[in-house]
Structure 1
Amino acid sequence: MEPGGKEYNYASASKGAKVLSSNKEAKGATSILSRDNDKYLRNPCSAEGKYVVIELSEETLVNTIKIANFEHYSSNLKEFELQGTLVYPTDTWVHMGNFTAANVKQEQNFTLVEPKWVRYLKLRLLSHYGSEFYCTLSLVEVYGVDAVERMLEDLISVEDNMKEKPVKQQAVSSEGDDGSDRIVETEKELESSPESTVAKAEASMASNKLTEPAEEVRRHQPGSRMPGDTVLKILMQKLRSLDVNLSVLERYLEELNTRYGNIFKEMDHETDVREKTIAALRLDVEGVKERQERMVSEAEEMKEWRKRVETEMERAEKENDNVSKRVEEVWQKIEWMEKKGLIVFTVCIGFGTMAVIAVLVGIGTGRAEKTGGGGWILLLICSTFIIFVLSL
């Protein structure tokens, strides 16, 4: 803010802003940096590529730009493009937005959708209203926040966050899960140790030191810009508090590393034990896999053996059928032979009986020689022999 309460204009010539370049047809380009209604930037409306490059008084986070044209006998600016950069000269400009102004003879504000950090602005004049010969621009103002004010705002927000942080930490700690019980116990031990008490005391002293510059910022901010010596004082106090906090943090981290080192050793030991158990389980699983593979191979062999057995059994059944048929044929032949033997036996008995009778009759009558007794005897002998053979 200005000492009078107005917004600080970073494109004011009295603050150190300058016009670095413009198109060759432009006249009075430096007039847009001061509030003189009788002076203005003048361009022939027919000129192409109209632009002006402004160096701001400081590196600024630009969020608003104000333009105005108070000259009545000229055409008003209609469309324009705003570009920016942190270095100049440059061939790379950052696009900050395209805007359309109203056809009025008064100041107009344009807010950037996304504020950007720039030191140099390039205002490209794209089109105009009316059909006058000259297109004029009386005023350009730039508003935003510079690096110092942004730092002071961050400082105030940090202080507010430090006040709200203990409440949030308490809420978060009440919602902690069971998996971090060991770390929580370690933190409780660290908080209960004498060294942590000293660290808390030093941290509270540092926070008290930080409170003073923040309060001073709040006292100076509403009315005017912060004086340079006050800014340096704040920065020095901030650096001293950071040194104190850094030393406290180093001591706390050393003790925390020691405690966590012991915890990590125990965790490493438990990890080793679990790795050994996992290795043993892995060996058991590999053994089970080998046995399973062996059983699968044996099952496949059994399947092949079963197929071979089934094939042999089918062949044996076929052979058994053939043998059964042959046996039946043999039995039929045997039965036929028995029948023929029985017939032959009966015939031989008949012939033998006849021969016996004939021999006995020939011997009794004394006619054996005449009646062929020798033949009957031979027939008797043959019949007897055949009967004897068949009876075996």
Structure 2
Amino acid sequence: MPDRGDATLLPARVRADFPILSRRVGDYPLAYLDSANTSHKPQAVIDAIATHYAEHNANVARAMHMLGAEATAGFEGGRAKVATFVGATRPEEVVFTKNASEALNLAAHTLGQHLGIGPGDEIVISVLEHHSNIVPWQLLCQRTGATLRWFDVTEEGRLDLAEADAEGLINEATKIVSLAWVSNVLGTVNPVADLVARAHAVGAIAVLDASQAVPQFGVDLPATGADLVVFTGHKMLGPTGIGVLWGRYDLLAELPPFLGGGEMIEVVTMERSTYAPPPARFEAGTPPIAQAVGLGAAVDYLTALGMDAVAAHEQAITGYALDRLNEASGVHILGPTDTKDRGGAISFTLTTGDGFAIHPHDIMQMLDSRGVAVRGGHHCARPLHKRLGIQASTRASFSVYTTPQEIDQLVDALAYTRDFFGRH
């Protein structure tokens, strides 16, 4: 059996901080292996949100009383913590949205206007993107007449840079390049600094979807060279209902508003309006206040753990899972099969001894009956599955609380599932 190595160290420190992990599924302990979908929340995050509502609840920026000042301090404090966590040069580079999808839509709408995107212009993405980094750019092309182009992937599940170079994928017509830092299906870690440099070499804007990167390893967003980066709170131990758009401040200051309403304005008359500077310009209406407080608490928690320790655990537990799944009969792993330039999401297919492909939805239900929570489907990446020649896959994904015992529970449940469908 593979050596568990450092995969046991971090969970031993943190599992008691996550109350939901004490739950059971019938006779089985809960083995939650769906953290790429959403992570669980430590008690510190739960308490921060509850305390905000119990003691500090008010609207921000508007109420000039004690509670309003406390709520504003909590909200802006969350922004400052996020800014420090991702290496921003100033808190005003951090825009709060309701999720990463909204942040990408904000980027597509505002960049489309700012750059005057139109016929003859090209936008480049990749076939391994989450739908949230495909559909907004499709809609922009439909509105403007621009052309959408994309990187293919190699058989190993990495971006096919050689083919892209041969085809001149990124060229003088390219206006925007938007790519995932880490694939939510294959776990592939893309060479973002190189990709950003390719975009900038032709004068294009570079956008990164870091939703799977920020929870897994320490990031310095300005150091990537990217112009805009999005990620979400609920995958990094924080609450749902909050996402982040980070951007170079000089670019944010040039972009038009995305949504209109309260608090994003300077002056409103019946004839015209002028707009506040970033980030307020992009935060129309009542923002996710308690969520920002909770996200700040999640940042505090991850910072206390140390992102080097988080990354080391992610690599160790992923390596252990890859080894165990490679040993398991009938399992075929999609994407890279070792931990080099790989994140902690492993998608796979499962066949019986006579070659029958078990549908991921059936696998997911069978595993759930034995306490193992995974995801089955196309994981909001249908074009990638089509490219791989399959309809769907099963995905196991990890976080700071994932243990080798949970991986063993997964492998045992897969063997049970394979035997069941082989007999029936």
Same fold (TM over 0.5): no
Task: State the TM bucket, normalised to the shorter chain.
Answer: under 0.3
Instruction: Give the structure with the higher percent helix.
Output: 1
TM-score by length of 1: 0.20
TM-score by length of 2: 0.19
Larger radius of gyration: 1
Q: Which has the higher contact order (CA 8 A, sep 6+)?
A: 2
